[in-house]
Chains A and B, each alone.
Chain A
Amino acid sequence: MIRRSLNFVIRGLILQNRIVKLLKKDFYIEFRSRASINISLAFAGITTLSVSLTSATMNLPFRVHSILIWVIIFFSAMNSLSHIFIREEEEGTSIFLSIHSEAEEIYIAKLLFNFILFIVITVVVTPLYLFFMQIWPENFIFFASSVFCGSTALSSITTTLGAIVAKTSMRSSLFTVISFPLTIPVLWISINLTASSLEGGSVDLLNLLFLLAFSGVIVSFSYLLFKFIWMEQ
């Protein structure tokens, strides 16, 4: 019994170690070229700026603000999150990666990378948006948690879809097509949550939990299914 649990712990540590290594590798590669991260951040910044440039003088209702925030975040995600898998395919390292490490390790490393990248993007986009549009959420903690939970759910679903799309022939256009129907529930609920937080509504714990539960379900199923996407059968 003790030996078995010890074995389990050791395997867990090895897995963790390898995930950290993969994650480090991804960060090194991405920051060495810096092009993709710069481009995705610039894309997010430019869309925010162009929206605020054309509509800052208007007095928009809070619902429209929330829709604009989520449209900007959604398209920044579409631009940047599939990149991590497409790079492996384009540089021809995907076969090496699938020989070298287990599918589960790859999935968790890529998921963490996308998650961090996406949090960075939202951290850039939302303050810029609030600053340029000169609005301030009534209930700041609720606002921040709605944005956080929404981007968690978005990044967890787009990681799997990015891996799927990297294996196909037409990548960027197909990515929007296949991810749109699956991200709709997330976007819908996040827009409602953000709008109610901007209006100063009370904290809607049920819908926040819905977003977290959604990402939990998606992550656990993707963990099981990832080997069918990435490994050559």
Chain B
Amino acid sequence: MISNPLFFVFIVVLIIWIGIALLLFRIDRKISLVEKEVSEALDEK
């Protein structure tokens, strides 16, 4: 398994995906927060 070069390709692709996933997750959370804040601020108006 370890000697298979595809295993290293798999690890590299997985690390890239983890990076993209973290980015996506952070953006998702931030936008949800902003959405809540904006709707509250608009309601107060």
Please tell me whether chains A and B touch each other in their complex, using a CB distance cut-off of 8 A: no
Interface residues of chain A, those whose CB is within 8 Å of chain B, are none
Interface residues of chain B, those whose CB is within 8 Å of chain A, are none
